[in-house]
Amino acid sequence: MVNHFHKVMEKLNASNPKCMSELLTEYEDLMEWINKEDEDIKYNPMTDAKDIEDIALEFTKQHLNPTRKNMSISNKEIAFHAMLIDSDSDSDVIFPEAGNDPDLNTIFLPKSLLKGQETYIVNVVYKNNKTISKLTPTVMEGQDDNKNWSVNTGIFLMTIFPKRQEPFQNVIITLHHIQKMNYSNPHCSFWNFSIPTSYNGSWSQKGCEMVSSTNTHTVCACNHLTNFAVLMKLNSQEVSSEHKEALLIITYAGLALSLLGEAITVLLYCLFLNLRHEKIQIRVNFLCALATAQIIFLAGIDKIENKDLCTFIASLIHLFYLVCFCWMLMEGVFLYRMVVKVFDVHVKMRYAYVFAFGLPSGIVAITLVAASLQSEGIHSYISKRYCWIRFDNDFIWSFVTPVLMLIAINCFFLYRVLKEMVLMKSVKNIKSLELSSIRASARACVLLLPLLGITWLFGLLSVINTSSVNVAWQYIFTILNTMQGFMIFVFHCLRNTELQAAIKLRYFQWESTHSSTHSNRKSSTPAKFLNFDESGSRSNSLPMAAKVNQVRPEKLDMKYRDEGGAHAQYS
């Protein structure tokens, strides 16, 4: 494919109006072929940069004139811009014009550089940042260690005709960064073809200096025109083998404990509580979604070798964690309707299911479609280190933004619930058991919602900053992630008064039935069956049936029974 591209360039005729379109299309095909190839392609774009510059300049000279002073041709890999400046021009030029694209690389040409003669301006931008960064050599004049350097902008070719004597008054180039994180120490550089290397030149900083730099872009000042780029140091994100082993142990042990807690909670809910009740359905669905996300996380987060499988795993983790937050919002809505909207406590579960699974599915589907439109295809959705959403191309916001919105909405509902609960303390006709149930549910939501949110905050922090801080974030994220199931087990199982009452009721029913059966087998006399002692006098001890009656649901407030009480059949 590379040889084919070279043959096409040799045959191009600058006088052909379609010359530049054909050149850019062939270059785009070459880059797409390189992206699809699994093996490393030994191709240096800078070896062809000089030939592309010559073709672009000759094309501009032949096709721009006083009646046609501007020309632009672009695709997703490369862009060509040209302009003709009149000899009597007396103004500075920013080229190409930024328009509505805030990320467009531009150059400021002072009027002193253009004044006095008709001038052709030619700009070629190699846009495919990931491919260019991967293919372009990072050898830099005067630098011994080139290992961690990377081209972190598109390559920006700028030339004018007639040529001006160099050096001249500085031109100002604004170059936008490819990677916004994990890069530092920007160097304004240009490709110097005159330096003898096996790469047909080397990066150099002579005649260029950095004016300013932020996370998003760098501004350079140079006293000549050529192929510009910003080289930056890649901050090491490698974690030592000791930390990797410790994190692995915490992850597997913690998630196993977390899954055990979730499994016990779901099992007890299914055995002792009424699954037809809205609140119980919401909690069971939340627990099942969280357990599913953790199982997939545990089994597939490191399956990076197979990119298709890795993309599928990442999308499932993305989906089920969003489902978790949706079900937590549904519990907040249920509490709100139960406490604030006292006469409208029922939630139509079919709408809850549509929301909890439909919204996350739509978000994940849109994200995957957007990723498939990128130059790297759908694999641009995943990180290069693990099967999770990629951070450096902003796809992570398809997870962060919905989560932040769901947490914010849930916080509003929980605030209203807590406010109403404070008022309920002064109302005498509120059943203490009912208030206790509401308070326990609200307390669980108030504590578990921040736990889930803070966990993923540290998950985001674990991919930024220096390596030492990054390790600390990874430890915090791993510990919090493994605590989720355990905390849910504590609040929704061990401290759940409804569940405790249901288990006690079932136990007393079993004990009563077992005792009655044993008594019937031991003696068939009516006196003993009616709980008389051997002397024939009435026993002072309560019969087992009376003990059961102490926790029978008829003794409980009717509303409390509806909200999640035992589903056992009562005698």
Q: What is the pLDDT of residues 280-335, one digit of tens each?
A: 888 899 989 989 998 998 888 888 888 899 999 999 999 999 999 899 888 888 87
Residue 1: is its pLDDT beyond 50? Answer: yes
Query: Read out DSSP for 435-464?
Result: HHHHHHHHHHHHHHHHHHHHHHHHHHHTTS
Taking the C-alpha atoms of residue 31 and residue 129, their distance in angstroms, rounded to an integer, is: 11
Provide the angle, in degrees to the nearest 10, between the axes of the packed helices 46-63 and 19-36: 160
Highest mean pLDDT out of 15-29, 444-458, 478-492: 15-29
Query: Which residue type sits at 1?
Result: M
Write out pLDDT tens, residues 329-388. 888 888 777 777 665 556 678 899 999 999 999 999 999 999 998 867 898 899 877 898
Q: What is the pLDDT of residue 370?
A: 92
Cis check: omega of the bond before 402, within 30 degrees of 0: no
Least confident stretch, 108-117, 120-129, 141-150, 529-538? 529-538
**Cα-based torsion angle of the residue sequence 403, 406, 408, 414 in order, rounded to the nearest 10 degrees:** -130
Q: What is the pLDDT of residue 530?
A: 39
Q: What is the pLDDT of residue 424?
A: 62
Q: What is the pLDDT of residue 40?
A: 64
Residue 479: is its pLDDT beyond 70? Answer: yes
* 163 Cβ neighbours under 8 A, 6+ residues apart: none
Q: What is the pLDDT of residue 361?
A: 96
In angstroms, what CA-CA distances link 398 with 75, 318, 323, 384?
A: 26, 9, 13, 18
Burial of 315 (0-12, 13-18, 19+ CB in 10 A): buried
User: Which whole number is the average pLDDT over 475-500?
Assistant: 76
Q: What is the pLDDT of residue 144?
A: 60
Highest mean pLDDT out of 198-207, 323-332, 455-464: 323-332
Q: What is the pLDDT of residue 455?
A: 66
Cis check: omega of the bond before 167, within 30 degrees of 0: yes
Residue 10: is its pLDDT beyond 90? Answer: no
Least confident stretch, 75-89, 189-203, 310-324? 189-203
Strand partners, 189: 229
Residue 443: is its pLDDT beyond 50? Answer: yes
DSSP secondary structure code for residue 426 in this structure: T
Query: Read out DSSP for 56-83?
Result: HHHHHHHH-BTTB-EEEEE-SSEEEEEE
User: Which whole number is the average pLDDT over 494-499?
Assistant: 75
Q: What is the pLDDT of residue 247?
A: 80
Tokens of 236: 């090491």
Query: Read out DSSP for 296-321?
Result: HHHHHTT--SSHHHHHHHHHHHHHHH
More confident residue, 46 or 15: 15
Write out pLDDT tens, residues 163-173. 888 778 889 99
Instruction: Write out the residue limits of the CATH 1.20.1070.10 domain(s) in the chain.
Output: 241-503
Write out pLDDT tens, residues 551-563. 443 343 333 334 4
The rounded Cα 111 to chain-centroid distance in angstroms is 46
Class of domain 241-503: mainly alpha
Mean pLDDT of the chain: 77
- The strand ranges marked E within 128-277 are 149-151, 155-161, 171-176, 183-192, 202-204, 208-213, 217-222, 227-234
Tokens of 500: 């405790």
Burial of 267 (0-12, 13-18, 19+ CB in 10 A): exposed
Query: In the CATH hierarchy, which fold is given to the domain comprising 1-234?
Result: Chondroitinase Ac; Chain A, domain 3 (2.60.220)
**Cα-based torsion angle of the residue sequence 303, 307, 313, 319 in order, rounded to the nearest 10 degrees:** 150
Q: What is the pLDDT of residue 559?
A: 39
Taking the C-alpha atoms of residue 337 and residue 341, their distance in angstroms, rounded to an integer, is: 4
Q: What is the pLDDT of residue 457?
A: 64
Q: Which helix (H) or strand (E) holds 122?
A: strand 119-126
Q: What is the pLDDT of residue 147?
A: 59
Least confident stretch, 94-103, 267-276, 353-362, 513-522? 513-522
Instruction: Write out the residue limits of the CATH 2.60.220.50 domain(s) in the chain.
Output: 1-234
Q: What is the pLDDT of residue 417?
A: 75
SS3 assignment, position 173: strand
Inter-residue contact 382 to 389 (CB < 8 Å) = yes
Taking the C-alpha atoms of residue 334 and residue 344, their distance in angstroms, rounded to an integer, is: 10
More confident residue, 91 or 535: 91
